[in-house]
């Protein structure tokens, strides 16, 4: 297998491309985020978006079907230009690189990240086309790379300036990042082998995201049986949205095509979505803007499907580099070094935006955002079921996420008084204890069909598929989420992605994340986000693993004895409930099986008698975990339970500790309407804390909103106000963070982020205090300090600012790279700051010898450079740990240095 990546310079567009060596010979691969409404299409309602004619370079007439069909390159960027084009060269071909470096046009970067296998003959069709004199668009002198004859770079330039961003001769083919990046240039390896009718069908990408691909159309039923050995071949779902056999992937020519008699009620928008596909028949129209009126018809992948030798025409630079076929014998030049042309970022959405706010103005998906302000609240009225079997692309849809009691999740925006509808964005987020971010291995999948009542649109934001559905005042700003399924991406595909550090294995829990952006006067907007409870997406776990959804109590006295009712799934008569206690470094120090009342218990309910704690003399609350286990390795996620000390006048008051913090934390989710038993609600409070961090960012753009700190509700939710409750120095009292970590499942790892100056006073961060942020990168596990070298403008005493970084761009945000885009906010060292990083589930120990407690790293320094670093470790994965420790090491080094001075 060969893995291709586009270059990191395109940040968020890090897409792995995995091709079988047999399939891959030369491919232009990329995905672009958007839309390109001015490409080969137009908006019938908007004269400014009138279809652009894509003219044949030869005839200067719109492409004909025949002409298009002669081209083998399957799509193109509509915007190849000096701003956007990048040439990627072979990773290990220094010679080629040097050559390219010396010859490439300005503005074209050469990436060393591509590895590719030699070319193969795949697509006679394409080869013929490339040899077609009609394609000899530019008779410019060609340039060959010594020893790499079929290196090629081509920029479509054959278009008039008005449509100069359009392609010349490409078959469009979508490439979906969530879809398997397997690119099969051999879409039709041998057209003659296929159903003759299929030769004229340009199928969807073999890995096209189901929900994103407008269905291809079959011209002849006779082809159906050809591709399915099933006795019910004709009746089996042939939806390109879903059920595809593995063979179909291997041979996309066998891809089913759509002949729906019941088009989706949203089909009018289908082609506005990403990943549009074309048939040969409709491609010319699409390219020429005829007939479609579908601004979203944007090819998202270029696949050259010929072994034709190409040469670079560098002299044309921006305006006209073509991939020129030449006559050199490929076989005599085995060292094929293909180039990959990477598209630009397009900012225009493929879909008609419900949300009118430009994507570039919106916070990245991995940014934590509160679910409420004093004015608005985004709330999940009905949570999704804790299990939902995600479907692979090879499968048919497995439907929309449902609610536990039937129906579907419901989300409502409270407090909105406007008349305009808003767009509710939905994406699949992580469900571990880290900062919520888009899940690398799952994507939201738009469900359409008769059962779906909610209109939805798809878009990609920074590589994450996002559904957008309208929130309408007439519906009381409530949306029934019956259009959101979950698509599972293959682990291998995602793990190959550059910069991806997460592993897919056992990473099967997700959350539905909902966002809304509420425009404010003056062009600002308030963004709110809420995430659902975790959803387990694996097949097996749905049948085997017990899951606790609810517990009727979360604490009792040390003596135990009380009955606790657990509600959940997959309980059995053999289910046991085990209470455990672990130290901060993850060592289990207590385990006790609770008594389960088997007579009362049901598959969805367990009646448990809470065991007494091992030491009933302790005088402080003790947090433990329990889990349900059905047998070997079939245990639920750990749940949380707190033993409270027996009332005694002799109990002395302890300093602020985890327990106190926990209770503070609990107040938050309750206010938010989340289950107090869910660990994740605590994470929400983490996020809120981060929002507090965000609020400290400067120089940033204040986007919203004025929040009276006197609002009690907001005080209970706002991190800034929570801070104020904490008393004085934030860092001096890490309880806020400990509480969060303390509630985390043992099996999880976490990195919590805290910022604040010890000198900071209560309330909103004040001017001149230079708060700093160590922000855990959602993707790469790097910590990025976001400092503020400049005194912050003093916020109004009664306001809270939600600030997004100035200069934020999709590229930056999407990069999923902490080192790129936000660099402009990672500015100079703050004059004084404090950092508290708390990790749980560490495994590495002993790096810091001056730990106050086992498994805890703590470093303090006082004085002007007041800094405090507190790290707790409990069973964190090593990889995880390494990243953090590196940051800590540097941080501590700096502290030491300061201390010495």
- Residues forming contacts to DNA in the complex (CB under 7 A) are 180, 215, 221, 224, 229-232, 234-239, 241-247, 249, 256, 258-262, 264, 389, 392-400, 402, 447-452, 485, 488, 490-492, 503-508, 538-540, 542-543, 632-633
Q: CB-wise, 568 or 742, nearer to DNA?
A: 568
Q: How far is the CB of 16 from DNA (least distance, A)?
A: 12
Q: How far is the CB of 262 from DNA (least distance, A)?
A: 4
In this structure, are residues 369 and 471 in contact, taking their beta carbons and an 8 Å threshold? no
Q: How far is the CB of 40 from DNA (least distance, A)?
A: 25
Q: How far is the CB of 270 from DNA (least distance, A)?
A: 10
Q: CB-wise, 442 or 643, nearer to DNA?
A: 442
In this structure, are residues 614 and 581 in contact, taking their beta carbons and an 8 Å threshold? yes
Q: How far is the CB of 401 from DNA (least distance, A)?
A: 8
The structure tokens 């390494």 sit at 882
CA distance linking residue 467 with residue 473, whole number of Å: 19
| Residue 13, φ and ψ in degrees, nearest 5 | -95, 30
Q: How far is the CB of 398 from DNA (least distance, A)?
A: 4
Q: How far is the CB of 12 from DNA (least distance, A)?
A: 22
Q: How far is the CB of 189 from DNA (least distance, A)?
A: 17
Q: How far is the CB of 567 from DNA (least distance, A)?
A: 19
In this structure, are residues 578 and 588 in contact, taking their beta carbons and an 8 Å threshold? no
Q: CB-wise, 247 or 609, nearer to DNA?
A: 247
Q: CB-wise, 448 or 718, nearer to DNA?
A: 448
Q: How far is the CB of 322 from DNA (least distance, A)?
A: 35
Find the helix packing angle between 679-695 and 719-726, rounded to 10°.
Answer: 100
In this structure, are residues 668 and 684 in contact, taking their beta carbons and an 8 Å threshold? yes
CA distance linking residue 815 with residue 827, whole number of Å: 18
Count CA atoms within 13 Å of residue 437 on its CB side: 22
Q: CB-wise, 456 or 811, nearer to DNA?
A: 456
Q: How far is the CB of 266 from DNA (least distance, A)?
A: 11
Q: CB-wise, 40 or 201, nearer to DNA?
A: 201
Count other C-beta atoms under 10 Å from residue 592's C-beta: 17
Pairing of strands 391-392, 484-488: parallel
Could you please report the per-residue DSSP string of 136-186?
A: ----PPPB-BTTBTT--------S-GGGTTS-SSB--B---SSS-----TT
In this structure, are residues 61 and 134 in contact, taking their beta carbons and an 8 Å threshold? no
In this structure, are residues 251 and 187 in contact, taking their beta carbons and an 8 Å threshold? no
Q: How far is the CB of 876 from DNA (least distance, A)?
A: 17
- Residue 191 CB-density burial (10 A; 0-12 exposed, 13-18 middle, 19+ buried): middle
Q: CB-wise, 400 or 892, nearer to DNA?
A: 400
Q: CB-wise, 18 or 740, nearer to DNA?
A: 18
Structure letter (DSSP) for residue 890: H
| Residue 670, φ and ψ in degrees, nearest 5 | -65, -40
Q: CB-wise, 235 or 616, nearer to DNA?
A: 235
| Residue 638, φ and ψ in degrees, nearest 5 | -65, 140
Count other C-beta atoms under 10 Å from residue 246's C-beta: 9
Q: CB-wise, 396 or 899, nearer to DNA?
A: 396
E strand map for 389-508: 391-392, 410-414, 422-430, 442-446, 457-461, 464-471, 478-480, 484-488
Q: CB-wise, 440 or 805, nearer to DNA?
A: 440
Q: CB-wise, 246 or 522, nearer to DNA?
A: 246
Q: CB-wise, 393 or 660, nearer to DNA?
A: 393
Q: What kind and span of H or E run contains 66?
A: helix 65-69
Q: How far is the CB of 217 from DNA (least distance, A)?
A: 9
For residue 645 the two structure tokens come to 């000390």
Give the distance between the most distant pair of CA atoms in the chain.
Answer: 96
Helix, strand, or coil (residue 120): coil
Q: CB-wise, 210 or 821, nearer to DNA?
A: 210
Q: How far is the CB of 245 from DNA (least distance, A)?
A: 4
Three-state secondary structure readout of 3-28: EEECCHHHHHHCCEEEECCCCCCCCE
Q: Would you give the distance in Å from CA 509 to the centre of its chain?
A: 14
The structure tokens 């800094």 sit at 867
Q: CB-wise, 109 or 578, nearer to DNA?
A: 578
Residue of 412, 380, 384 lying closest to 399 (CA atoms): 384
Q: How far is the CB of 231 from DNA (least distance, A)?
A: 6
Q: CB-wise, 229 or 521, nearer to DNA?
A: 229
Q: How far is the CB of 205 from DNA (least distance, A)?
A: 14
Residue of 433, 779, 439 lying closest to 637 (CA atoms): 433
Find the helix packing angle between 735-742 and 679-695, rounded to 10°.
Answer: 150
Q: CB-wise, 24 or 693, nearer to DNA?
A: 24
Q: CB-wise, 491 or 847, nearer to DNA?
A: 491
CA distance linking residue 758 with residue 543, whole number of Å: 50
Q: How far is the CB of 696 from DNA (least distance, A)?
A: 38
Buried/exposed 521-542: b ≥16 CB within 10 Å, e otherwise: eeebbbbbbbbbbbbbbbeebb
| Residue 660, φ and ψ in degrees, nearest 5 | -60, -45
Q: How far is the CB of 29 from DNA (least distance, A)?
A: 18
In this structure, are residues 129 and 56 in contact, taking their beta carbons and an 8 Å threshold? no
Give whole-number Cα distances, 744 to 266, 482, 584, in Å. Answer: 41, 31, 11
422 pairs with which residues across the strands? Answer: 471
Helix, strand, or coil (residue 218): coil
Number of residues that this document lists for the chain: 901
């Amino acid at each position: 297998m060969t893995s291709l990546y586009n270059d990191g310079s395109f940040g968020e567009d890090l897409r792995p491309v995995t091709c079988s060596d047999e399939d891959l010979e030369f491919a232009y691969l990329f995905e672009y985020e958007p839309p390109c409404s001015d490409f080969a299409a137009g908006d019938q309602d908007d004269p400014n978006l009138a279809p652009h004619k894509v003219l044949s370079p030869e005839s200067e007439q719109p492409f004909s079907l025949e002409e298009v069909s002669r081209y083998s390159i399957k799509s193109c960027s509509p915007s190849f230009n000096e701003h956007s084009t990048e040439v990627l060269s072979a990773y290990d071909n220094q010679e080629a690189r040097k050559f390219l470096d010396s010859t490439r046009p300005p503005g074209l970067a050469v990436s060393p990240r591509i590895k590719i296998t030699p070319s193969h003959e795949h697509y006679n069709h394409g080869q013929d086309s490339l040899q077609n004199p009609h394609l000899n668009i530019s008779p410019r002198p060609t340039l060959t790379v010594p020893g790499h004859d079929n290196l090629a770079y081509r920029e479509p330039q054959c278009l008039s300036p008005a449509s100069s961003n359009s392609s010349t001769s490409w078959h469009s083919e979508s490439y979906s990042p969530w879809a398997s990046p397997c690119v099969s240039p051999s879409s039709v390896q041998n057209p003659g082998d296929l159903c003759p009718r299929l030769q004229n069908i340009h199928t969807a990408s073999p890995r096209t995201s189901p929900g994103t691909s407008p269905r291809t159309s079959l011209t002849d039923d006779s082809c159906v049986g050809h591709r399915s050995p099933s006795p019910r071949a004709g009746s089996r779902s042939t939806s390109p949205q879903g059920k595809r056999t593995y063979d179909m992937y291997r041979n996309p020519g066998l891809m089913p095509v759509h002949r729906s008699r019941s088009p989706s009620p949203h089909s009018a928008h289908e082609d506005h979505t990403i990943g549009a596909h074309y048939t040969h028949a409709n491609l010319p129209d699409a390219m020429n803007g005829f007939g479609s009126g579908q601004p979203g018809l944007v090819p998202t992948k270029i696949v050259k499907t010929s072994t034709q030798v190409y040469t670079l025409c560098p002299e044309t630079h921006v305006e006209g580099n073509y991939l020129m076929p030449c006559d050199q014998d490929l076989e005599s030049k085995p060292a094929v070094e293909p180039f990959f042309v990477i598209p630009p970022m397009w900012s225009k959405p493929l879909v008609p935006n419900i949300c009118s706010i430009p994507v570039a103005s919106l916070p990245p998906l991995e940014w934590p955002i509160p679910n409420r302000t004093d004015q608005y609240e985004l709330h999940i009225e009905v949570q999704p079921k804790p299990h939902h079997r995600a479907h692979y692309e090879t499968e048919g849809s497995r439907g929309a996420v449902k609610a536990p009691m039937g129906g579907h999740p419901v989300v409502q925006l409270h407090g909105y008084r406007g008349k305009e509808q808003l767009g509710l964005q939905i994406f699949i987020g992580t469900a571990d204890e880290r900062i919520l971010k888009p899940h690398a291995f799952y994507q939201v999948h738009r469900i359409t069909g008769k059962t779906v009542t909610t209109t939805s649109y798809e878009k990609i934001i920074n590589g994450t598929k996002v559904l957008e559905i309208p929130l309408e005042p007439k519906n009381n700003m409530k949306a029934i989420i019956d259009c959101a399924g979950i698509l599972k991406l293959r682990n291998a595909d995602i793990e190959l992605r550059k910069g991806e550090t997460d592993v897919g294995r056992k990473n099967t829990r997700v959350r539905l994340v909902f966002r809304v952006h509420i425009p404010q006067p003056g062009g600002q907007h308030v963004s709110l986000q809420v995430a659902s409870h975790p959803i387990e997406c694996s097949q097996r776990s749905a049948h085997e693993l017990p899951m606790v959804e609810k517990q009727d109590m979360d604490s009792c006295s040390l003596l135990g004895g009380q009955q606790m009712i657990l509600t959940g799934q997959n309980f059995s008569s053999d289910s046991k409930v085990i209470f455990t206690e672990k130290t901060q470094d993850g060592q289990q120090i207590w385990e006790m099986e609770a008594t389960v009342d088997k007579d009362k218990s049901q598959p969805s309910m367990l009646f448990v008698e809470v065991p007494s704690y091992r030491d009933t003399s302790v005088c402080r609350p003790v947090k433990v975990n329990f889990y349900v286990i059905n047998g070997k390795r079939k245990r639920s996620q750990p749940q949380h339970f707190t033993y409270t000390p027996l009332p005694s006048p002799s109990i002395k008051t302890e300093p602020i500790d985890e327990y106190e913090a926990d209770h503070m934390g609990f107040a938050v989710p309750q206010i938010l309407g989340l289950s107090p038993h869910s660990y994740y609600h605590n994470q929400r409070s983490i996020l809120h804390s981060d929002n507090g961090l965000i609020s400290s960012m400067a120089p940033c753009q204040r986007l919203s909103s004025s929040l009276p700190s006197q609002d009690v509700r907001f005080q209970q939710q706002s991190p800034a106000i929570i801070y104020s409750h904490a008393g004085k120095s934030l860092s001096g009292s890490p309880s806020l963070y400990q509480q969060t970590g303390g509630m985390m499942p043992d099996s999880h790892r976490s990195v919590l982020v805290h910022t604040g100056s010890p000198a900071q006073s209560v309330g909103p961060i004040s001017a001149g205090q230079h708060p700093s942020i160590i922000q855990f990168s959602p993707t790469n596990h790097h910590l990025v300090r976001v400092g503020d070298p400049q005194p912050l403008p003093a916020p109004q005493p009664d306001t809270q600012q939600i600030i997004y970084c100035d200069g934020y761009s999709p590229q930056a945000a999407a990069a999923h790279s902490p080192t790129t885009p936000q660099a402009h906010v990672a500015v100079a060292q703050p004059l004084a700051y404090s950092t508290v990083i708390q990790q749980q589930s560490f495994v590495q120990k002993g790096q810091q010898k001056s730990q106050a407690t086992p498994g805890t790293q703590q470093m303090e320094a006082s004085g002007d450079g007041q800094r405090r670093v507190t790290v707790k470790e409990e069973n964190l994965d090593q990889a995880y740990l390494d990243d953090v420790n590196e940051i800590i090491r540097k941080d501590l080094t700096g502290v030491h240095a300061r201390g010495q001075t």
